Structure 1
Amino acid sequence: MAEAAHDEVRAQGDLIVARARLWIGTPYRHQASCRGAGADCLGLVRGVWREVRGAEPEEVPPYTADWSEAGGPEDLLNAARRNLRSVAREEAAPGDILVLRMIEGGLAKHVGILGRAPGGFETLIHAYSGHGVVESPLTPAWRRRVAGAFRFPR
């Protein structure tokens, strides 16, 4: 990657992580996307998108808390592919979006924003039931669940 492009990716990633961290402490609310009031995992990414990019690229249809439990299409991965740029997991940088499978072999149905702690280890900024928006270490258990890595478009 050319140095100028690398600097652009880093600057955009720093902005996305800074915005995402402003959401930490937002309570978990299914289908919500309002900093401070409530968000689910997708709502966090949608809210950060609006703060960084403006209008969302597509309308999100209503979904239940247990959507895709019984199988079906990879809705979350397909939406990421339509609206974000795919990157190899080993090339993912802070500010990139990670789409995760909650169970091995299951559909991808969780999403978070890759961060980096002051100690240099990777983190995941995400929202989940019972915890709200948090920043967690990207442990091996979370790493195994990554189904795709994506970057906001330029």
Structure 2
Amino acid sequence: MTSADPTRVIAIARSWLGTPYHDQASLRGIGCDCLGLARGVWREVVGPEPFPIPPYSRDWGETGPREVLAEGARRMMIEMQPTAAGPGALVLFRMKPRAIAKHVGILTGPDTFLHAYERLGVTEEPFTPSWRRRIAFAFLFPQR
């Protein structure tokens, strides 16, 4: 599997900037959550989503031992070591130590990333040491 052009992934991800936060949504300019942002970028970079995303509760990541996001990403993306992730990579974050990964972002530069965050919507911000420490998994979008 060949990876998509990171420049294209970043340009498409940035086209979502300013999209309001809306739980479980995935519509550019209308609303999305972090997974919805990744799904929207997927649709533009790769094509139709390969499987439906079941409804999920706001606290889904607080329960259970399964790495649901990572398992789903492995089915359709190219996994890489988090330390090797660069611009254009999709990264999954653990929001608490020893918790499952439940937040998604897209690296846009060596020191920036884009994500959808409650109350902020889709924003690009510094990829600080605090965020870097939280990365649990990294993936590349495949080519169409």
Q: Same fold (TM over 0.5)?
A: yes
Give the TM-score category using the shorter length: over 0.9
How many Å apart are 1:99 and its aligned residue? 0.5
Runs of 4 or more off by more than 3 Å in structure 1? none
**How many pairs does the alignment contain?**
142
Q: Residue type of the partner of 1:44?
A: L
TM-score by length of 2: 0.93
Q: Residue type of the partner of 1:92?
A: A
Provide the residue aligned with 1:110 in structure 2. 103
CA distance in 2, matches of 1:97, 1:153: 11
How many Å apart are 1:54 and its aligned residue? 1.1
Provide the residue aligned with 2:42 in structure 1. 49
CA distance in 1, matches of 2:65, 2:137: 18
The yes-or-no answer on 1:125 pairing with 2:114 is yes
Within the candidate set 85, 88, 109, 1:92 is matched to 85
CA distance in 1, matches of 2:138, 2:79: 6
Q: Residue type of the partner of 1:144?
A: R
After superposition, residues 14-29 of structure 1 pair within 5 angstroms as 14-29=7-22
Superposed CA offset, 1:92-127 (max 9, x none): 1211100010111111000010111xxxx4211100
Per mean C-alpha deviation after superposition, the further-off stretch among 24-33 and 70-79 is 70-79
3-state DSSP class of the match of 2:60?
Answer: coil
Does the 8 Å CA contact 1:126/1:133 hold for their aligned counterparts?
Answer: yes
CA distance in 2, matches of 1:54, 1:83: 12
Provide the residue aligned with 2:142 in structure 1. 153
Q: Residue type of the partner of 2:42?
A: W
Superposed CA offset, 1:48-107 (max 9, x none): 111111101211000011112133311011111111111122321211100010111111
Higher relative contact order (CA 8 A, sep 6+): 2
Once superposed, what is the RMSD of the aligned Cα atoms? 1.4
Instruction: Give ranges in structure 2 of 5+ residues lacking alignment.
Output: none
Within the candidate set 135, 138, 146, 2:127 is matched to 138
Q: Residue type of the partner of 2:59?
A: D
TM-score by length of 1: 0.87
3-state DSSP class of the match of 2:96?
Answer: coil
The yes-or-no answer on 1:32 pairing with 2:25 is yes
CA distance in 1, matches of 2:25, 2:130: 26
